[in-house]
Amino acid sequence: MFESQQKSTGTQYVITVALLAVAFIFVPAVLIVSRPFGYFGISLAIACSTLCAALAWFNWKNNTQVTIPSLETPLERSK
């Protein structure tokens, strides 16, 4: 089932997923629960979400080194 000869793709998804969770789940939840009054709280939440999303994108671009293994089988040499 798993090929022992295949190399790791070199991706690190944990930090990217955590940053996206903070940006799109945690910050809006805190904003809804805290019910900030005025534009300062909303602006701060938007800035924090944008920053986390940008950091997630940079982390994704820097750590993703996906290589597509060849689907072709090696040719056997004729004797």
CA 42/CA 11 separation, integer angstroms: 34
Q: Tokens for 1?
A: 């089932």
Counting every residue, how long is the chain? 79
pTM over 0.85: no
Domain chopping of the chain, boundaries = 13-63
**Mean predicted confidence (pLDDT) in 38-53:** 90
Give the least confident one: 16-25, 39-48, 63-72: 63-72
Element of type H or E holding 77: none
pLDDT of residue 61: 85
Q: Average model confidence (pLDDT) for the chain?
A: 77
pLDDT of residue 53: 96
Question: Between 40 and 50, where is the model more confident?
Answer: 50
